Amino acid sequence: MAVEPDVLDELARLRARVPQLTGALAADTGGRVLARDTTDEGAQRLAALTVDALLAALRLADAAGQGRAEELLVRGEGGYVAAYAAGPTAVLTLLAEPRVNVGRLHLEGRRAGARIGELLDGALERLEDT
- Average pLDDT, rounded, for the chain: 90
pLDDT digits (tens, 9 = 90+) for 13-57: 999 999 999 999 999 989 899 999 887 778 889 999 998 998 899
Q: At 69, is the secondary structure helix, strand, or coil?
A: coil
Q: Is the dihedral of CA 121, 125, 128, 130 positive or negative?
A: negative
State the amino acid at position 12 in one-letter form: A
Alpha helices in 4-101 (DSSP H): 4-17, 43-63
